[in-house]
Every structure is written in C-alpha cells, then in structure tokens.
Amino acid sequence: MPEKTSPLILKYFLLLFVISILLVGRLLWPFVSIIILSLLLVSIFRPIYKFMTRHMSDHFASLLTCVLIILLVFIPLSYFVIELSKEGIAYFNFIKGINFAVKTRELIQNSTIFGKFQGLLDGYGIALQTEDISNNLATFARTIGVFFYNKMSAWAANIIHFIINFSLMILTIFFLLIDYNRLVDFIMRLSPLPEAQEKQLIKKFQEIAQAILLGNGICGVIQGVLGGLLFTYFQLGSPVLWGGVMAVMAFLPIVGIGAILLPTALILLLKGSIGKAIFTAIFYFVLSMSIEYLLKPKLVGHQVKMHTLLVFLSIIGGLSVFGVLGIVYGPLIVTAFLTLADIYLKNYAQYINGSKSIPE
C-alpha cells in the first residue's frame, strides 16, 4: 500500500512542481511561436501523415509530410517575403520622394467627378474640404509606407534568422507528428479536469486551427493573389505589396479586402477611369461574397461559432499585442476563454453561486 502523504509534503511537492513548470516555461518561451505554429500545422497535415503511415514507417511518413510542408509553405512564403521586402522598400522610397499631400490635392482638384460631387454636397450645406481629404490620405499612405519599410527592412536583414526558425519548426513538426498522441495523453494525465472537458478544449483548438489556416488562411491567400493580379492588370503598382495587405485584411470579417479595393476604386474614379473603377468595385463584391459565403463555409464548416464582432476585435487586439502572429493568437485566446466559460457555466457555476454544495 502507498504511504499516506502528509499535507506538508504535498504542499512542498506542489511548490517544487510549479517552480519546475515556470523554469521550463522560461526555457521554452523563445520558441513559443514556433511551437504554436507547429501545432497548428500538425493539426492540418496530420490526416495526410496518418494516411501515409498505412504504407510506410512513422518516421518516413513524418519526413515526407515535412517535405510537403516545405513545398507548400516554406518555398512560396520565402518568395513572398523577398518580393514583399523589395516592394515595401520601393513604396516607402516613392512616398518619401514626393509630396504626397500635394499630389493628392492636385488629383482631387483636377477631378471633374469630385467637383460635381462637391457641388452636390454644397447644395445641402455640406462643405467638403479638399485639403483635409488630401492630408488624411497622405497621412494614411505615409503610415503604411513607414510600417512596411520597418517590417521589410527587418525581414531582409534577418533572412538567416527566418530560415533558422523555419528549420526549427520543421524539426518540431517532424517529432510532433510521430508523438502527437503521446503528447496529448501526457497533457490530459497532468490535467486535473475531467476527461470530457479536456477533450472539449482540445477539440475547440483543433477546430479554430482549421478555421485559421484552412478557412481564413487559404481564403486570404486567394483574395490576396487575385487582388494582386488586379493591380498588375491595371498597372497600379506594387502588386505583391498590396496583395499581401489584402491577404492580411481578408482575416478581418467586417473590413476585409474592401479596405484596399474600395479606396482603389475611388482613386480610379477621381482619375476619370470610370470603367476601371466600376470593375474594381464589382470585382470586390463578387470576390468577397463568393469567398465569405461559398468557399469559406465549405472549408471551415459551421463548427466554429464565434460572433463576427468578437472575431474582428480578437484579430485587431492580437495584431496590436503580438504583431502579425496576432492573427493566430487572438482567436486562439478568445476560443480558450469561451470554451472555459462554457465549461464553467455547465459544470461549476452551480457550486460558486451556492445552489449546490461541492461534493466531497
């Protein structure tokens, strides 16, 4: 029979255990992003890995899956980062080399359409100041230019760091594919929660990973590529840069790629390119509607139920706190909170409010 553990020994052990957890967390903290992204990719590519294990060893199946990830993710991402760096720096130099406010003011003042629109508003007593509009547009364009210049310069300077991090991620994915079940079992045995609640948490994280990478990720890439092709066809300049911006903006459910394409249509309209402006507006509505209401539900399904405003705020908050990876971290954090809140309301709220006593 096991010896009876005294309360003092139990408290001392728990103190040592918590200290060891904190120390391990401190050691692994520099690799948190790599681990999270690896887990997300494993959740997506694991069905392929499991299919391969029917015909080959676990290690060889994991190796082939990692090669597939390199071909589908690393090579396109590397090309995109290099091209984005070039266009981001070129765009910043272009903005820096001209008086953008003056150019914008000239564009608006020379636009017959804007003049008619301004006259129409004057009839209703609404004064539309050209200088205010041009200054706001100039500030917006300059802010985008500075942001991308800083990011692209950092990426260009740390390309070796990028390669090392991706190599570490591939190594992590290789072992996670093989030992995924053992890892999940280990975490579930450590957790004091009932098994059903642990499985609910794991299921929610797998669903949100599918929503982020398969749903928002693939749909964002499609919208970014098609938007970049539109910029190339109309020779609007920096197609990779603006395509990348649209791919990121596509994650936002309320704003979406309209934050780029609708102002583009307006600028084309002010320039007198009415046909291009109408085509751009129609292109935006058709692309956005088809992706949001046809393709994305097919990829994601209806498992992930989160309010549109909450998704929007979680991504905006994630971007402000964690940078670009906040697109992933924000929804994950909100999903964890909502799942735990659901578990609390169903299983523990009755004990907290005193309607039931805690069982011995």
Distance CA 83, CA 225 (A): 13
Residues above pLDDT 70, as percent of the chain: 71
pLDDT category at 1 given cuts 50, 70, 90 is: very low
pLDDT digits (tens, 9 = 90+) for 208-263: 777 777 777 788 888 888 988 888 888 887 787 788 888 878 877 777 888 788 88
Q: Quick one: average pLDDT of 3-27?
A: 85
Residue 16 confidence (pLDDT): 92
The token pair at 177 is 């594919």
**What does the buried/exposed string (b/e) look like for 48-84 if buried means 16 or more CB atoms within 10 Å of the residue's CB?**
ebeebbeeeeeeebbbebbeebbeebbeeeeebbebb
- For 41, 72, 180, 206, 237, the CA distances from 53, given in Å and listed in that order, are 18, 20, 14, 21, 47
Residue 157 confidence (pLDDT): 55
pLDDT digits (tens, 9 = 90+) for 131-149: 655 566 666 666 665 665 5
pLDDT digits (tens, 9 = 90+) for 293-320: 777 766 665 555 677 778 778 888 887 8
User: How is 210-255 classified by DSSP, letter by letter?
Assistant: IIIIIIIIHHHHHHHHHHHHHHHHTT-S-HHHHHHHHHHHTT-TTT
What is the reported pTM?
0.67
**Which of 61-70, 71-80, 126-135, 340-349 shows the lowest per-residue confidence on average (mean pLDDT)?**
126-135
Distance CA 335, CA 306 (A): 8
Residue 9 confidence (pLDDT): 84
Q: Of residues 286 and 208, which shows the higher confidence score? A: 286
Distance CA 279, CA 71 (A): 35
The token pair at 302 is 């209806």
Q: Quick one: average pLDDT of 259-282?
A: 83
For residue 175, the one-letter residue type is F
pLDDT category at 155 given cuts 50, 70, 90 is: low
